[in-house]
Amino acid sequence: MSLNEIFKAYDVRGKVGSELNAEVAETIGRSFADWLPKTGPVAVGRDMRPDSKELADALIKGILTQGRDVWDIGEITSDMIYFAVGANQLAGGAVVTASHNPGEYNGIKFCKDEAQGIAEDTGLIDIRDRASNNQFKPSTKAGQVIYKDVTEAWIKHVLSFVDDSKLKPFKIVVDAGNGMAGKIFAELEPYVPFEVSEMYFELDGTFPNHIANPLEEKNLVDIKRKIKDVSADLGIAFDGDGDRAVLIDENGMALSGTIMSAMLAEYILKQKPGSTIILNAICGQAAVDVINKHGGKLVRSRVGHSFIKNEMRKSQAEFAGEHSGHYYFKKNFMADSGMIAALLGLYVLSLSHKKLSELVKPYRDAYVATNEINFEVKDKNKILQKTEKAFDPGSISHLDGLTVSTASGWFNVRPSNTEPLLRLNAEAKTKADLDQIIKKARSLIEN
C-alpha cells in the first residue's frame, strides 16, 4: 500500500474513496498507535463530513487493534482534539477532517502527548512508512473505547482567556459555513453577552451554501451582506473544522491574518512584556512592527500548525500568528484555536472602546497586501528555481518556499502543503509598488 499521495507536510489529506477510505484509515490508525512515544489512551474526534464517522470508526478500530484505549469524543472542532489531549495527559489524538477542502475530500490531523504537532520531519513520514509496509507491533489484547464529551470543559477553557465581565454586548454575525463551529459556537453563546445572528450553523459536510474557507472573498459575500442588513458591530467567519476564524469589521472589511496577529500580539505583549511571538513566513510587516515596537522577541516559522507548535516549544513563545487565520496560544498547550482567537479579538475590542475598523486602522494603513493568489502549475520546483535566479541571492529566504525582499516590499511563492498549487503572497508600502511586485512574480510563474 502506497500512501505517499495523501501524507502531506503536516497531515493526511485525500479524496474519499479513491485515496482515503476505511481500510486506509484503519491501517493508519494501527501505525499511529504503534508510533506514539507515550503509553496511554488516544483521543479521536471527527468533523461533520458525510464519511467522517466511517473513517473515524476505522481509525479507532486500528488503534484498538494495537492495544491502545481510545477516547471517542465525537463531532468536534479541530482545536478541541488538542485540548482533549493536553488537558487530560493523553498519549495523542487524531481528528478526521479535511478542514476547508471541498466535500469530496477528507483527512486526518494528528498530535502526540501534550498536544505536540506531528509533521513530516517529526514523525509523520515514519507513520506513513509503517502503514505502507504493514509494519505493526504484535498485540495480545485489544483496547477499549471510552465515549467522552469534552465540550463543557472546552468552553470553560476558552472563557479562561478573557474576563467575561468586561465583554461588551456586541451585535455580531457568525457564519459557520455548515462546519463544526455551528455546533460548538452555539455552546459558547449562553456565557457571553453578544447578540448573535447565526448563519449556516446546520452541520452539512456537502457545504450547500459556500465552501467553509473564509480566506476566499467569495465565501464572505453572505456574511458581509448580513452585517450590513442587521447593522452588526462585526462578524466572525469560521472554516470547516472551526480552527480558523476571520473577523470582519462593521464596514464589511475582513481582517487579514497579519492584522489579527498584530492586534492580538499587541494585547499579549502589554500583558506579558518581552514575550516571544512567532509569525509564519508570509505574515506581513504590520505584525512585525507591533512586536518590535512593544519589545517582543520575533521568531519566524514555516507555514503549518505542526511546524509552529514545535517552534513554540523551542522558544517558549506566548503567541503565534499565521496569515492564514491560525492563532496559537501558550496557555492552549501551544496549539491553535479559532474560538479562542475570535473571543480574544472581541475582548480586545471591548477594552478599546472603539469600533473594530478604528481599532485596526493603524495596522491596515501601514502596508498594502494582496490576498493569496493560487496557481496550478506542472512543475513547482522548476518555477521556484527560475524565480530565484531572477533576483539577487542576498534578497532571498528559503524558510518556506521562496521569499524575495525588494526595496518597496516582498513576495513569497511556496508550494501548497495540501493542494497541487503554488501560492503567491505579496506586500508593499503602496498599491503601485504592490502591483509591480505582483506583475513581476506573475510573469515568472506563468511564463
Q: Are 52 and 96 in contact (CB under 8 A)?
A: yes
Task: Please say if 301 is a catalytic residue.
Answer: no
> HSE of 427 in the Cβ direction (CA atoms, 13 Å)?
19
In sequence order, the 6+-apart residues with CB closer than 8 A to the CB of 29 are 58, 59, 60, 61, 62, 63, 65, 66, 94
Name the residue among 155, 153, 173, 172 with its Cα closest to residue 164: 155
Among 31, 52, 99, 275, the one annotated catalytic: 99
Tally the residues of the chain.
Answer: 447
| 242 dihedral zone (left: phi>0; alpha: psi -120 to 50; beta) | left
State which amino acid sits at residue 227.
I
Rounded distance between C-alpha atoms, residue 350 and residue 106, angstroms = 38
Q: Which residue has the cell 517558549?
A: 316
Radius of gyration (Cα) for the chain, nearest Å?
21
Rounded distance between C-alpha atoms, residue 333 and residue 349, angstroms = 25
Catalytic residues: 99
